[in-house]
Chains A and B, each alone.
Chain A
Amino acid sequence: MSEKKSLIRLKEIYKSFADNEVLKGASLELSEGEIVAIIGGNGAGKSTLMKIIMGIYPLDRGDIYIENEKIHMSSPSVALEKGIYLVPQEPRLFPNMTVEENVVIGFNQNKAALGEKLRELIKQLGWNISLSRKAATLSIAEQQLVEILRGLLRQAKILILDEPTSTLTFNEIKSFFKLMKDLQAKGIGMFYITHRLTEVFEIATSVVILRDGEITVSGPVSDFTKEILIKGLMPDNAENVKEGIENNQVDHEKDPVLKVDSLSGYGFNDVSFSIYEGEILGLAGVVGSGRTELAEAIFGMGEITGGDVFLNGKSIKGYKTKEIINLGLNYVPEDRHLNGIFDMADVRLNITSAILSRISKVFINSKKEKEITQKYIDDFRIKVTGQDQSLKSLSGGNQQKVVIGRILSSNPKVIILDEPTRGIDAGARGDVYKIIYQLKKLGLAILLISSDFEEIYELSDHAEVMYHGSNTVELSKEDITMDTLTQAAFGA
């Protein structure tokens, strides 16, 4: 076959947020009928790169060519007009609109004709989805389908798929791949972001590894094996972080610090596990597998419908969150902006807010407050200009360190970390890992929830995999590999 037409070409894209350089000269090309798989860990810059293509973020330096014409990608409407559509990892639907309204919004054409086309499309795909349901009632997987329908109905020439299969069931994935192949045959080019290496070989034509904002490896899929890709993904300093930890064996003779006994609630069912002093238990699972609901239920924020939770041998079921914190369990939620931090307040207030009543009588003991704050700034190497810097002005990684610092100031025995490195750049991620190891050394029991399987692989002493609300697979340290994790997490 002759040279294929280039759909989009990115030349040396640079992008920084504040002083944090996320993309450092990434270049990428997509031609007709190509599926380029983009892989890389949390914070490697995948999402940023895709958002630049979509016109959501402006780029600092670099050029974008669409069909060899230089384009100034100033807003999403420019990208949409050029036939680019981003299917985001977490669906961004309008919850109060019906499925049909969600799909057809923003089109210029007649709505009735569009509805007809949409029904035709759904029939073609063999999907079973009711168009008159409100988006708020859809499961995450169904919402994902709606997002994909949006892109298809727009007849996009360039589709960006950000981990589309992370929430789909096995059969849905199969029909989705078939659909991707159909689209490929029609000449549509796709960027395909994924964490599942098996998928790369199943569907992609070429593969790109993004690490620390740079493309380190790229080429046709046939040039690679899974082993090469895994090697390319692994951080160079993985060994360094673990040094001095290896001989720090977990003592399973003692009683577990946290014991979850066939716990059920909304979103999870019959989950059991135990964590011991100085142990990191990795809880792997894709978005929507019930991990967060489980964590919230343990922490007294969600309802428990069955089973029991024991903290140091004492049942904490039905306790209030405040009592649970006092008993020594604390939780760092996934979305720190939504649940974790006081944006406008300074670093000091953020760190000490959880213990103000403990260090004060009537007035706040500000000397002690300063001491504690300085301790965590030093311990965690939090980059600040001073204790009074507002949290908002810190980078994501440093914000996360502050949140962890605050949690630690309450002297917990058990700490639940929900996606601790999400949206954090690679450098800060290493720091957060080191902090997690420090905590382990201090004898804390840590429940590490993550959908980044490299993270689970790197940190965990022991792993449980959640799939559809149950922890179906348990892995000892030796058995934790990317393969076993992905297979279990996707129910394959």
Chain B
Amino acid sequence: MTIIKRIFKKREITALAFLIVLFLGVGLRNPDFINMQSVSTVLKGSVIYILLAVGMTFVLLTGGIDVSVGATLGISAAISATMIRDGSSVVLSILVALAIGIIIGLINGIGVAIVKVPAIIMTLGILGITRGTMIVYTNGRWVENLPDFFKKASQASFGGLNHYFVLAVITVALVQLYFSKAKTGRFFAAIGDNVEGAVLVGIPVKKMMIIAYVVSGFCAAIAGVIFASQVGFVTSNTGFDIEMVAIAACVLGGVSLSGGIGSVIGSSIGAIIMTAINSALIFLKVPSFWNKSIQGLLLILIVVSDVLIHKYFQEKARKQRLSAKSSFVGGDE
């Protein structure tokens, strides 16, 4: 019980509550939203966002940001899909996609941690390069006619749950375990919390930062392969603007944009919420061209309220601390 309590600290609970309220609220308008079918569609659809959010959490914890994940997803989807279509083995295609994700993450990580390019600029530049490369690679054409077995893999389910969703849940559980139990698990948050302090306790700051971007690229690459399998074709727009959803998911789940706070459980719940909002809009019959605006608005609302709440508590703690001291008389406690 205590372990469960510790895993679900306040923020994850509120995100979960928000998710339930969202389902119930939309369900009131359109009861079809709360049936098994629709819930399982949301969970299935959230797999990509969950994976992106997991990788993004690593980067955000260190105080960085990775806006290149959408392009990484796109290029790994395009390359793996092309290879599979042209008859390469699935395993090899996936390995190539993952290697691309790792390389992109490595470049991002070296740029941010060693060359010290601001994270937003570094990853924005890589976003442009990667997206351009993808279009050159595909000649701007769609990758279609993927073999059936590859598309069908996304339909497979285990006890009513989609295979890919199960994979995502296992990933989240393992990463959560790593963050809370492993020696180096706290290092990412420590760097975002106080870099100088991290140096002082011997944390290899540069190495951990590079690892964070590599994990982010790696997760985006897995998400890319899953995208190709789920959708069955890859357009030249694949992954476009998806980084916004991933960042919003993390922040919604309680990951601080200034680093140091957050968990992958939180950001995964955030990812499910973002998917649920998308599909709720369909059920509410809101035209789909509103989706992006609503996602953007939501991101800003979450961040602003987060900053305000954070500031309020910080100021309160500071005042408490200071008044405790000035009213303090005598030499002992």
Contact = CB atoms under 8 A, between A and B. Distances in A.
Interface of A: 54, 56, 75-77, 79-81, 86, 88, 92-97, 101, 105-108, 111, 128, 136-139, 150, 169-172, 264, 266-269, 288, 290, 293, 468-470, 491
Contacts of A170: 331-332
A111 B319 CA distance: 33
Nearest to A92: B197
A128 B194 contact: no
Nearest to B183: A108
A268 B200 contact: no
B139 interface: no
B190 A266 contact: no
B61 to A, nearest CB: 10
A93 B202 contact: no
Given A92-B197, A469-B326, A106 B333 contact: no
Main secondary structure of the interface of A (DSSP, over half): loop
Contacts of A96: 189, 193, 256, 260-261
B285 interface: no
Given A97-B189, A150-B201, A269 B332 contact: no
B86 interface: no
B29 interface: no
Interface in B200-250: 200-204
Interface residues of B, number: 37
Contact of A94 (B189, B204, B326): B189
A56, A97, A137 interface centre (most CB from chain B within 10 Å): A97
A54 to B, nearest CB: 8
Interface in B18-52: none
Contact of A95 (B260, B331, B332): B260
Contacts of A150: 201
Interface of B: 181, 183, 186-187, 189-190, 193-194, 196-204, 256, 260-261, 314, 317-329, 331-333
Contact of A101 (B186, B202, B320, B331): B186
Contacts of A54: 200
5 shortest A-B CB distances, which residue pairs?
Answer: A469-B326, A267-B322, A92-B197, A170-B331, A171-B332
Contact of A171 (B181, B197, B200, B331): B331
A171 B328 contact: no
B200 A76 contact: yes
A92 B199 CA distance: 10
Nearest to B190: A94
B182 to A, nearest CB: 10
Contacts of A137: 317, 320-321
B323 to A, nearest CB: 6
A48 to B, nearest CB: 15
Contacts of B318: 266
A95 B193 contact: yes
Contact of A169 (B198, B261, B317, B333): B333
A76, A86, A172 interface centre (most CB from chain B within 10 Å): A76
A111 B323 CA distance: 35
15 contacts: A92-B194, A93-B194, A95-B193, A95-B194, A97-B186, A101-B186, A106-B187, A106-B201, A108-B183, A169-B331, A169-B332, A264-B326, A267-B325, A290-B322, A469-B322
